[in-house]
Amino acid sequence: MSAVDWDLLADHLGGALAGTPEGDRVARLVATDPAWAEAAAQLTAAWDAVAADLRTVGPAPPLPEQVGTRLDAALRAETAAAPGGRAAAPAGPPLPRSGDDRPPGHPDAGSGRPGPSRSGPGQSGPGRPRPARRRRRAGWIGALAGLAGVAAFVALGPVEPSGTDGSQGGAAAPARPEAQLSDAGAVPDAAGAPAPVRALPVMTASDLDYQPDSHWLGAPALVAPPLAQRSEGSPPEQAFSVADRPDPPLDRLWDDPAACLAAVQVSHVPQPITVTQMDFARFEGEPAVIVWLTTGDGGGWVQVVGPDCGKPGAGADERYRQALD
């Protein structure tokens, strides 16, 4: 008598092994081995009982009205941002994979293991660009329009060493990023002068909890729409509220991101970077700033920095980074 392999027996009785040598082997065991015969009888009876139990579950309740409303609002916002599904970002990625891409016919041992691109931090697939503008809740564009994104947009001013643009807004605009670079113990590139951080980012305070395999890392979850669009047809009430500013400890960076941006720049030397957005949020549960940037060679990155970003000795306080595109 051989020990009963219940998984195999289940596969056989469930028809998954039909026509295979393994199926024949199990059929022989059931026919000739009392332990297997008994197990087969028990399993069959057990399945009948499970079927009866499953019937008690009944049909799912219908889609709740508030969920329907929320979906409609999310779709309206999405349609406004990307008619026909074509967002401003480059051509989209493959659909999120479920890990179901096993060889056909391979019986699943119930491992539930994620696909290779989701095996852990830093391994979320460097070549997996994501669609732009993923949003977790409806209506955030409307919230942004009146709040943080635009306000910061105006206040920051370009991060240029010589201040050629001239529109230095408040304390947020650094006058001398090189000084901050050297304060942070920067390692200059071969030419001796670290390239400046160019352009100014949209700043949002979503408090979203990003994960290493989060879709939202591919492109900012919240994007302030162009000024021209904001006035017409803003989505209705938001299911979530977007903060005006982040709570401590990220408020320090919100008020003065210059040193942090300089440290981020250092981490990409010798490429000059353009920071497009900073979302003051969380990463794996901890307060963090998600930074989206492009490098001079056309590369794209998302980089996660902690609250100590830009502090002397802390560098960028980097928690995670991922290449985009």
Partner 1 sequence: MTGPGPDDAGLLRAHVAGDPQAFGDLFRRHRDRLWAVALRTLGDPEEAADALQDAMLNAHRAAGRFRGDAAVTTWLHRIVVNACLDRIRRRQAHPTVPLPDGNRSEDGRSGHEPVAPAADPDTALVVRHALAQLPPEQRIAIVLVDLQGYSVAEAAAIFEVAEGTVKSRCARGRARLAVLLGHLHTGDEAPEPTARGNRGSGGIVSSGSEAGGGQ
Under the criterion CB under 8 A, does residue 4 sit at the interface with partner 1?
Answer: yes
- Scan residues 285-314 and list those touching partner 1 (CB under 8 A): none
DSSP 8-state code for residue 209? E
Helix (H) or strand (E) holding 202: strand 202-204
Stretch that binds partner 1, among 93-101, 155-163, 195-203, 244-252 (CB under 8 A): 93-101
Smallest gap from Cβ 90 to partner 1, in A, equals 12
Q: Which is nearer to partner 1, 183 or 209 (CB)?
A: 209
Cα-Cα end-to-end distance for the chain: 58
**Structure letter (DSSP) for residue 172:** G
Size of the site for partner 1 (CB under 8 A): 79
**Out of 2, 21, 63, 166, which residue is the one contacting partner 1 (CB under 8 A)?**
63
Interface region with partner 1, contact rule CB under 8 A, candidates 25-33, 60-68, 242-250, 272-280: 60-68
* Least distance from partner 1 to the Cβ atom of residue 50, Å: 5
Q: How far is the CB of 84 from partner 1 (least distance, A)?
A: 4
Options 84, 127, 226, 248; binder of partner 1; rule CB under 8 A: 84
Is 47 near partner 1 (CB under 8 A)?
Answer: yes
| 136 touches partner 1 by CB under 8 A | yes
By CB under 8 A, name the one of 125, 131, 287, 306 that touches partner 1.
131
Q: Which residues inside 190-219 make contact with partner 1, applying CB under 8 A? A: 211, 213, 215
Report if residue 83 touches partner 1, rule: CB under 8 A.
Answer: yes
- Considering only 128, 134, 319, 321, the residue that binds partner 1 (CB under 8 A) is 134
Are the C-beta atoms of residues 302 and 218 closer than 8 Å to each other?
A: yes
Determine the Cα–Cα distance for residues 68 and 225; give it in Å rounded to an integer. 24
How many Cα atoms occupy the beta-carbon half-sphere of 277 within 13 Å? 25
Ramachandran quadrant class, 206 (left: phi over 0; alpha: psi -120 to 50; beta: rest): alpha
**Environment class of 275 (CB within 10 Å of its CB; exposed 0-12, middle 13-18, buried 19+):** buried
Say how many residues make up the chain: 325
Q: Cα separation of 133 and 323, whole Å?
A: 17
Closer to partner 1 by CB, 110 or 248: give it: 110
Choosing from 24, 38, 48, 255, the residue that interacts with partner 1 (CB under 8 A) is 48
> Would you state the structure tokens that stand for residue 233, as one six-digit string?
């047809």
- Note whether 122 and 212 are within 8 A (CB): yes
